[in-house]
């Protein structure tokens, strides 16, 4: 069971990395380039020099996907290492 959990955590890293890249591209292509307070789009995201404005939920998602993936990879690697001992 520990091995399955470790493998799932290790596979989460590339999935979350790809999701992060996809969201950055998607937001850069589809979100407004000026703030829209009435819509809640006041959180700036700089994507290779293009600044777009996100809602709070979009900002949280794009901000935490990559660190979350890294934490999953570290936890998976640590769990895998403890299994091998």
**pLDDT score for 84:** 76
pTM for the model? 0.81
pLDDT digits (tens, 9 = 90+) for 2-40: 889 999 999 999 999 999 999 999 999 999 999 999 999
Instruction: State the Rg of the chain over Cα.
Output: 17
For the chain, give every domain's residue range: 2-84
pLDDT value of residue 38:
97
Say what the pLDDT of residue 1 is: 87
What are the angstrom distances between the C-alpha of 74 and each of 5, 6, 19, 49, 77?
Answer: 13, 10, 18, 31, 5
pLDDT at site 26: 96
- Crossing angle, helix 2-30 and helix 56-84, to 10 degrees? 160
């Amino acid at each position: 069971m520990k091995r399955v959990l470790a493998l799932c955590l290790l596979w989460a890293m590339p999935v979350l990395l790809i999701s992060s890249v996809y969201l950055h591209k998607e937001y850069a292509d589809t979100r407004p380039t000026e703030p829209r307070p009435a819509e809640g789009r006041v959180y700036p995201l700089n994507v290779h020099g293009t600044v777009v404005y996100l809602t709070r939920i979009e900002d949280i998602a794009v901000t935490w996907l990559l660190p979350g993936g890294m934490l999953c990879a570290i936890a998976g690697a640590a769990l895998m290492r403890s299994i091998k001992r």
